[in-house]
Structure 1
Protein backbone atom coordinates (compact mmCIF):
# COMPACT_ATOMS: atom_id res chain seq x y z
CA UNK A 1 0.00 0.00 0.00
CA UNK A 2 1.53 3.35 -0.97
CA UNK A 3 1.98 5.53 2.06
CA UNK A 4 3.45 8.83 3.16
CA UNK A 5 4.97 8.29 6.56
CA UNK A 6 5.70 11.95 7.32
CA UNK A 7 3.15 14.76 7.47
CA UNK A 8 3.72 18.41 8.23
CA UNK A 9 1.12 20.62 9.92
CA UNK A 10 1.52 24.33 10.61
CA UNK A 11 3.60 23.66 13.71
CA UNK A 12 4.29 19.93 13.85
CA UNK A 13 6.29 17.19 12.16
CA UNK A 14 4.33 13.93 12.28
CA UNK A 15 6.33 10.82 11.38
CA UNK A 16 5.74 7.09 11.55
CA UNK A 17 7.53 5.80 14.65
CA UNK A 18 10.56 3.57 14.34
CA UNK A 19 12.42 1.35 16.79
CA UNK A 20 14.82 4.27 17.33
CA UNK A 21 11.91 6.17 18.92
CA UNK A 22 11.37 3.48 21.58
CA UNK A 23 13.25 5.23 24.44
CA UNK A 24 11.47 8.57 23.92
CA UNK A 25 8.08 6.87 23.46
CA UNK A 26 8.61 4.89 26.64
CA UNK A 27 9.62 8.00 28.61
CA UNK A 28 6.39 9.68 27.45
CA UNK A 29 4.14 6.70 28.22
CA UNK A 30 5.85 6.03 31.58
CA UNK A 31 5.30 9.59 32.81
CA UNK A 32 2.48 9.60 35.41
CA UNK A 33 1.68 13.22 34.50
CA UNK A 34 0.33 12.21 31.08
CA UNK A 35 -1.89 9.50 32.62
CA UNK A 36 -3.83 11.84 34.89
CA UNK A 37 -7.16 10.48 33.58
CA UNK A 38 -6.22 6.78 33.38
CA UNK A 39 -3.36 5.99 35.78
CA UNK A 40 -3.69 2.26 35.09
CA UNK A 41 -2.71 2.89 31.44
CA UNK A 42 0.80 4.07 32.32
CA UNK A 43 3.60 1.99 30.81
CA UNK A 44 5.46 0.54 33.78
CA UNK A 45 7.72 -1.64 31.61
CA UNK A 46 9.40 -0.91 28.30
CA UNK A 47 7.81 -4.09 26.91
CA UNK A 48 4.45 -2.29 27.02
CA UNK A 49 5.80 0.52 24.85
CA UNK A 50 7.53 -1.94 22.54
CA UNK A 51 4.18 -3.72 22.04
CA UNK A 52 2.50 -0.38 21.19
CA UNK A 53 5.30 0.41 18.74
CA UNK A 54 5.03 -3.03 17.13
CA UNK A 55 1.25 -2.52 16.67
CA UNK A 56 1.88 0.89 15.11
CA UNK A 57 4.44 -0.52 12.68
CA UNK A 58 2.00 -3.31 11.75
CA UNK A 59 -0.74 -0.70 11.23
CA UNK A 60 1.47 1.29 8.89
CA UNK A 61 2.22 -1.86 6.87
CA UNK A 62 -1.41 -3.03 6.74
CA UNK A 63 -3.28 0.26 6.33
CA UNK A 64 -0.74 2.89 5.26
CA UNK A 65 -1.48 4.88 8.43
CA UNK A 66 -1.23 4.55 12.18
CA UNK A 67 0.13 6.70 14.96
CA UNK A 68 2.87 9.25 14.36
CA UNK A 69 5.58 10.66 16.57
CA UNK A 70 4.95 14.35 17.17
CA UNK A 71 7.71 16.94 17.14
CA UNK A 72 7.59 20.71 16.85
CA UNK A 73 8.77 22.10 13.51
CA UNK A 74 10.58 24.97 15.23
CA UNK A 75 12.62 22.69 17.53
CA UNK A 76 16.06 22.14 15.96
CA UNK A 77 16.70 19.26 18.38
CA UNK A 78 13.52 17.48 17.32
CA UNK A 79 12.43 16.53 20.84
CA UNK A 80 9.38 14.27 21.04
CA UNK A 81 6.34 16.16 22.33
CA UNK A 82 3.88 13.36 21.80
CA UNK A 83 2.44 10.60 19.72
CA UNK A 84 -0.88 10.17 17.97
CA UNK A 85 -2.89 9.70 14.85
CA UNK A 86 -5.47 7.26 13.53
CA UNK A 87 -5.33 3.46 13.72
CA UNK A 88 -7.81 1.00 12.25
CA UNK A 89 -9.68 -0.59 15.14
CA UNK A 90 -11.11 -4.09 14.54
CA UNK A 91 -11.70 -3.22 10.89
CA UNK A 92 -14.72 -1.04 11.79
CA UNK A 93 -13.31 2.45 12.36
CA UNK A 94 -10.30 4.71 12.47
CA UNK A 95 -9.53 5.29 16.13
CA UNK A 96 -8.02 8.66 17.08
CA UNK A 97 -5.29 8.39 19.70
CA UNK A 98 -2.90 10.94 21.12
CA UNK A 99 -0.67 11.27 24.12
CA UNK A 100 1.16 14.56 24.59
CA UNK A 101 3.87 15.48 27.07
CA UNK A 102 2.38 17.43 29.95
CA UNK A 103 4.17 20.65 28.95
CA UNK A 104 2.65 20.33 25.45
CA UNK A 105 -0.93 20.44 26.76
CA UNK A 106 -2.97 23.55 26.02
CA UNK A 107 -1.15 24.60 22.84
CA UNK A 108 -3.65 23.20 20.31
CA UNK A 109 -1.33 20.38 19.22
CA UNK A 110 -4.09 17.81 19.74
CA UNK A 111 -6.30 19.70 17.27
CA UNK A 112 -3.55 19.74 14.64
CA UNK A 113 -2.87 16.06 15.20
CA UNK A 114 -6.54 15.03 15.03
CA UNK A 115 -7.09 17.11 11.87
CA UNK A 116 -4.06 15.56 10.16
CA UNK A 117 -5.17 12.08 11.19
CA UNK A 118 -8.70 12.61 9.90
CA UNK A 119 -7.42 13.92 6.59
CA UNK A 120 -5.06 10.97 6.12
CA UNK A 121 -7.72 8.45 7.19
CA UNK A 122 -10.29 9.92 4.78
CA UNK A 123 -7.77 9.71 1.94
CA UNK A 124 -7.00 6.03 2.63
CA UNK A 125 -10.29 4.51 3.79
CA UNK A 126 -13.08 7.09 3.62
CA UNK A 127 -15.74 4.45 4.23
CA UNK A 128 -14.54 4.00 7.82
CA UNK A 129 -15.77 6.43 10.47
CA UNK A 130 -13.27 8.23 12.67
CA UNK A 131 -13.85 7.65 16.38
CA UNK A 132 -12.58 9.29 19.57
CA UNK A 133 -12.79 6.91 22.55
CA UNK A 134 -12.32 8.74 25.85
CA UNK A 135 -13.15 8.86 29.53
CA UNK A 136 -15.96 11.19 30.54
CA UNK A 137 -13.91 12.94 33.23
CA UNK A 138 -11.18 13.83 30.69
CA UNK A 139 -12.47 17.31 29.90
CA UNK A 140 -9.53 18.18 27.62
CA UNK A 141 -10.07 15.17 25.37
CA UNK A 142 -13.81 15.74 25.31
CA UNK A 143 -13.35 19.38 24.28
CA UNK A 144 -10.81 18.33 21.63
CA UNK A 145 -13.28 15.80 20.17
CA UNK A 146 -16.09 18.33 20.12
CA UNK A 147 -13.89 21.07 18.59
CA UNK A 148 -12.92 18.57 15.88
CA UNK A 149 -16.60 18.20 15.00
CA UNK A 150 -17.16 14.74 16.47
CA UNK A 151 -20.60 13.92 17.91
CA UNK A 152 -21.29 11.82 21.00
CA UNK A 153 -22.66 8.45 19.82
CA UNK A 154 -22.40 6.37 23.01
CA UNK A 155 -21.94 6.79 26.77
CA UNK A 156 -21.59 3.85 29.13
CA UNK A 157 -19.47 1.87 31.57
CA UNK A 158 -15.78 1.51 30.80
CA UNK A 159 -15.32 -2.26 30.51
CA UNK A 160 -12.17 -3.44 32.27
CA UNK A 161 -11.37 -0.11 33.98
CA UNK A 162 -10.11 -0.63 37.55
CA UNK A 163 -12.43 2.24 38.54
CA UNK A 164 -15.93 0.73 38.45
CA UNK A 165 -17.48 4.22 38.29
CA UNK A 166 -15.54 5.17 35.13
CA UNK A 167 -17.69 6.22 32.19
CA UNK A 168 -16.51 5.89 28.60
CA UNK A 169 -17.63 8.21 25.81
CA UNK A 170 -17.53 7.37 22.12
CA UNK A 171 -17.48 10.31 19.74
CA UNK A 172 -17.54 9.86 15.96
CA UNK A 173 -17.53 11.86 12.76
CA UNK A 174 -20.74 10.08 11.66
CA UNK A 175 -23.26 7.55 13.00
CA UNK A 176 -21.67 4.18 13.77
CA UNK A 177 -22.87 0.79 12.57
CA UNK A 178 -24.18 -1.62 15.21
CA UNK A 179 -20.96 -3.65 14.78
CA UNK A 180 -18.74 -0.61 15.39
CA UNK A 181 -20.76 0.36 18.46
CA UNK A 182 -20.43 -3.20 19.79
CA UNK A 183 -16.65 -3.14 19.28
CA UNK A 184 -16.31 0.14 21.19
CA UNK A 185 -18.67 -0.86 24.00
CA UNK A 186 -16.66 -4.02 24.61
CA UNK A 187 -13.15 -2.54 24.52
CA UNK A 188 -11.03 -3.10 27.59
Structure 2
Protein backbone atom coordinates (compact mmCIF):
# COMPACT_ATOMS: atom_id res chain seq x y z
CA UNK A 1 0.00 0.00 0.00
CA UNK A 2 1.37 3.42 -0.92
CA UNK A 3 1.34 6.60 1.16
CA UNK A 4 -1.73 8.60 0.10
CA UNK A 5 -1.14 11.71 2.22
CA UNK A 6 0.23 13.60 -0.79
CA UNK A 7 -0.94 12.95 -4.34
CA UNK A 8 -0.22 14.80 -7.57
CA UNK A 9 -2.68 14.56 -10.48
CA UNK A 10 -2.48 16.26 -13.86
CA UNK A 11 -3.67 19.63 -12.50
CA UNK A 12 -4.06 19.20 -8.75
CA UNK A 13 -2.08 18.88 -5.54
CA UNK A 14 -3.95 16.71 -3.01
CA UNK A 15 -2.45 16.94 0.47
CA UNK A 16 -3.16 16.01 4.03
CA UNK A 17 -4.52 19.26 5.51
CA UNK A 18 -2.26 21.51 7.59
CA UNK A 19 -3.24 24.09 10.20
CA UNK A 20 -2.99 26.92 7.69
CA UNK A 21 -5.76 25.35 5.58
CA UNK A 22 -8.46 25.78 8.24
CA UNK A 23 -9.62 29.25 7.17
CA UNK A 24 -9.95 28.36 3.50
CA UNK A 25 -11.75 25.10 4.30
CA UNK A 26 -14.26 26.98 6.44
CA UNK A 27 -14.73 29.64 3.76
CA UNK A 28 -15.54 27.03 1.12
CA UNK A 29 -17.97 25.21 3.41
CA UNK A 30 -19.67 28.39 4.66
CA UNK A 31 -20.34 29.86 1.20
CA UNK A 32 -24.11 29.76 0.56
CA UNK A 33 -23.41 29.22 -3.14
CA UNK A 34 -21.79 25.90 -2.24
CA UNK A 35 -24.97 24.76 -0.52
CA UNK A 36 -27.77 25.69 -2.92
CA UNK A 37 -28.84 22.03 -2.94
CA UNK A 38 -28.85 21.75 0.87
CA UNK A 39 -28.87 25.20 2.55
CA UNK A 40 -29.10 23.63 6.02
CA UNK A 41 -25.68 22.02 5.47
CA UNK A 42 -23.80 25.34 5.33
CA UNK A 43 -21.23 25.74 8.11
CA UNK A 44 -21.38 28.81 10.34
CA UNK A 45 -18.76 28.16 13.04
CA UNK A 46 -15.20 29.06 11.94
CA UNK A 47 -13.81 26.53 14.43
CA UNK A 48 -15.08 23.78 12.16
CA UNK A 49 -12.22 24.52 9.76
CA UNK A 50 -9.75 23.51 12.45
CA UNK A 51 -11.83 20.41 13.20
CA UNK A 52 -11.65 19.40 9.53
CA UNK A 53 -7.86 19.60 9.60
CA UNK A 54 -7.61 17.56 12.79
CA UNK A 55 -10.11 14.96 11.62
CA UNK A 56 -8.28 14.37 8.35
CA UNK A 57 -4.93 14.01 10.11
CA UNK A 58 -6.43 11.49 12.53
CA UNK A 59 -8.01 9.46 9.71
CA UNK A 60 -4.81 9.43 7.64
CA UNK A 61 -2.97 8.10 10.69
CA UNK A 62 -5.63 5.51 11.49
CA UNK A 63 -6.97 4.45 8.10
CA UNK A 64 -4.31 5.47 5.59
CA UNK A 65 -6.81 7.67 3.74
CA UNK A 66 -9.02 10.70 4.45
CA UNK A 67 -10.07 14.01 2.90
CA UNK A 68 -7.37 16.10 1.24
CA UNK A 69 -6.95 19.83 0.89
CA UNK A 70 -6.95 20.49 -2.86
CA UNK A 71 -4.81 23.07 -4.65
CA UNK A 72 -4.47 23.81 -8.35
CA UNK A 73 -0.95 25.22 -8.09
CA UNK A 74 2.02 24.13 -6.03
CA UNK A 75 1.86 26.02 -2.72
CA UNK A 76 -1.24 27.89 -3.87
CA UNK A 77 -4.47 28.53 -1.98
CA UNK A 78 -6.84 25.74 -1.04
CA UNK A 79 -9.57 25.48 -3.69
CA UNK A 80 -11.40 22.43 -2.38
CA UNK A 81 -11.67 19.47 -0.08
CA UNK A 82 -12.26 15.88 -1.03
CA UNK A 83 -11.25 12.26 -0.86
CA UNK A 84 -12.52 9.09 0.77
CA UNK A 85 -13.31 8.60 4.43
CA UNK A 86 -13.73 5.23 6.10
CA UNK A 87 -16.37 4.39 8.73
CA UNK A 88 -16.00 4.91 12.48
CA UNK A 89 -17.93 1.74 13.28
CA UNK A 90 -18.67 -0.38 10.21
CA UNK A 91 -22.24 -1.69 10.56
CA UNK A 92 -21.33 -4.93 8.77
CA UNK A 93 -17.73 -5.23 9.91
CA UNK A 94 -16.51 -3.80 6.62
CA UNK A 95 -18.35 -0.54 5.97
CA UNK A 96 -17.62 1.63 2.96
CA UNK A 97 -15.53 4.56 1.80
CA UNK A 98 -17.49 7.81 1.63
CA UNK A 99 -16.43 9.77 -1.47
CA UNK A 100 -16.68 13.52 -0.87
CA UNK A 101 -15.98 16.62 -2.94
CA UNK A 102 -16.63 20.33 -2.37
CA UNK A 103 -14.87 23.17 -4.16
CA UNK A 104 -14.58 26.94 -4.12
CA UNK A 105 -17.17 28.39 -6.48
CA UNK A 106 -14.41 30.15 -8.42
CA UNK A 107 -13.12 26.80 -9.74
CA UNK A 108 -16.40 24.92 -10.16
CA UNK A 109 -16.85 23.77 -13.75
CA UNK A 110 -13.20 22.93 -14.40
CA UNK A 111 -13.59 19.20 -13.75
CA UNK A 112 -11.56 19.28 -10.54
CA UNK A 113 -14.07 17.16 -8.61
CA UNK A 114 -13.80 14.38 -11.19
CA UNK A 115 -9.99 14.59 -11.28
CA UNK A 116 -9.71 14.52 -7.51
CA UNK A 117 -12.40 11.84 -7.27
CA UNK A 118 -10.54 9.52 -9.62
CA UNK A 119 -7.47 9.73 -7.36
CA UNK A 120 -9.66 9.11 -4.31
CA UNK A 121 -11.25 6.00 -5.82
CA UNK A 122 -7.80 4.68 -6.78
CA UNK A 123 -6.57 5.33 -3.24
CA UNK A 124 -9.58 3.59 -1.69
CA UNK A 125 -9.06 0.55 -3.90
CA UNK A 126 -5.42 0.43 -2.83
CA UNK A 127 -5.97 0.89 0.91
CA UNK A 128 -9.00 -1.39 1.36
CA UNK A 129 -10.18 -2.91 -1.93
CA UNK A 130 -12.92 -4.97 -0.29
CA UNK A 131 -14.58 -1.80 1.04
CA UNK A 132 -17.05 -0.27 -1.47
CA UNK A 133 -16.75 3.38 -2.49
CA UNK A 134 -20.01 5.28 -1.96
CA UNK A 135 -21.16 8.71 -3.15
CA UNK A 136 -24.17 9.87 -1.14
CA UNK A 137 -25.93 12.83 -2.81
CA UNK A 138 -29.21 14.61 -3.38
CA UNK A 139 -31.08 13.82 -6.58
CA UNK A 140 -31.49 17.47 -7.58
CA UNK A 141 -27.72 18.06 -7.30
CA UNK A 142 -27.13 17.30 -10.97
CA UNK A 143 -23.47 18.34 -10.95
CA UNK A 144 -22.59 15.96 -8.11
CA UNK A 145 -24.49 13.14 -9.79
CA UNK A 146 -22.61 13.67 -13.06
CA UNK A 147 -19.32 13.58 -11.20
CA UNK A 148 -20.21 10.25 -9.59
CA UNK A 149 -21.24 8.84 -12.97
CA UNK A 150 -18.03 10.05 -14.66
CA UNK A 151 -16.09 8.19 -11.98
CA UNK A 152 -17.82 4.97 -12.96
CA UNK A 153 -20.07 4.75 -9.91
CA UNK A 154 -23.55 3.32 -10.44
CA UNK A 155 -26.88 4.12 -8.80
CA UNK A 156 -27.50 1.54 -6.07
CA UNK A 157 -30.20 3.15 -3.93
CA UNK A 158 -32.84 5.88 -4.19
CA UNK A 159 -35.14 7.00 -1.40
CA UNK A 160 -36.29 9.80 0.89
CA UNK A 161 -33.59 11.87 2.56
CA UNK A 162 -34.31 11.14 6.20
CA UNK A 163 -33.93 14.29 8.34
CA UNK A 164 -33.77 16.76 5.44
CA UNK A 165 -35.77 19.97 6.13
CA UNK A 166 -37.25 19.50 2.65
CA UNK A 167 -39.66 16.56 3.03
CA UNK A 168 -39.64 15.99 -0.72
CA UNK A 169 -35.86 15.64 -0.97
CA UNK A 170 -34.61 12.42 -2.55
CA UNK A 171 -31.25 10.88 -1.65
CA UNK A 172 -29.20 8.81 -4.09
CA UNK A 173 -26.43 6.36 -3.29
CA UNK A 174 -23.88 5.55 -5.98
CA UNK A 175 -21.42 2.66 -5.59
CA UNK A 176 -18.36 1.41 -7.42
CA UNK A 177 -19.76 -2.15 -7.44
CA UNK A 178 -22.96 -4.13 -7.21
CA UNK A 179 -24.05 -4.14 -3.56
CA UNK A 180 -24.17 -7.49 -1.80
CA UNK A 181 -26.91 -8.30 0.70
CA UNK A 182 -24.84 -7.20 3.69
CA UNK A 183 -24.17 -3.82 2.13
CA UNK A 184 -27.83 -3.31 1.27
CA UNK A 185 -28.80 -3.96 4.89
CA UNK A 186 -26.01 -1.71 6.17
CA UNK A 187 -27.00 1.19 3.89
CA UNK A 188 -30.63 0.96 4.94
CA UNK A 189 -29.84 0.66 8.66
CA UNK A 190 -27.09 3.29 8.81
CA UNK A 191 -28.31 6.00 6.50
CA UNK A 192 -31.74 5.47 5.03
CA UNK A 193 -34.12 3.78 7.46
CA UNK A 194 -37.37 2.46 6.08
CA UNK A 195 -36.41 2.76 2.42
CA UNK A 196 -35.94 0.39 -0.48
CA UNK A 197 -33.11 -0.41 -2.86
CA UNK A 198 -32.99 0.32 -6.57
CA UNK A 199 -30.46 -1.80 -8.43
CA UNK A 200 -29.07 0.02 -11.46
Cα shift at 1:77: 5.5
Determine which structure has the larger strand proportion and give its number: 1
Cα shift at 1:50: 3.1
Cα shift at 1:2: 6.9
Q: In the comparison of the two structures, how many residue pairs are matched?
A: 184
Aligned match for 2:77, one of 76, 79, 88: 79
Alpha-carbon distance change, 104 to 60 in structure 1, aligned in 2, over 3 angstroms: same
Answer with 57-66 or 129-138: which moved more.
57-66
Cα shift at 1:64: 0.7
Distance 1:118 1:2 in 2: 14
2:196 corresponds in structure 1 to: none
Distance 2:13 2:31 in 1: 22
Distance 1:88 1:154 in 2: 19
2:197 corresponds in structure 1 to: none
- Runs of 4+ in structure 1 deviating by more than 4 angstroms, as ranges, are none
Distance 1:125 1:16 in 2: 19
String of CA shifts for 1:113-158, please: whole Å, max 9, x gaps: 1100001111100000001000000000011111111110101111
Aligned match for 2:184, one of 175, 178, 188: 178
Answer with 164-173 or 2-11: which moved more.
2-11
2:133 corresponds in structure 1 to: 130
Structure 1 residue 163 corresponds to structure 2 residue 132? no
Structure 1 residue 62 corresponds to structure 2 residue 62? yes
Structure 1: 5+ residue stretches without partners:
none
SS in 2 for 1:3: coil
Cα shift at 1:175: 2.1
Cα shift at 1:21: 1.0
Whether the 8 Å CA contact 1:13–1:72 is kept in 2: the answer is yes
- TM-score normalized with structure 1 length: 0.91
Cα shift at 1:179: 3.8
Distance 1:105 1:139 in 2: 13
Structure 2: 5+ residue stretches without partners:
194-200
Whether the 8 Å CA contact 2:22–2:52 is kept in 1: the answer is no
Whether the 8 Å CA contact 1:87–1:95 is kept in 2: the answer is yes
Aligned match for 2:108, one of 105, 119, 127: 105
Aligned match for 2:117, one of 103, 109, 114: 114
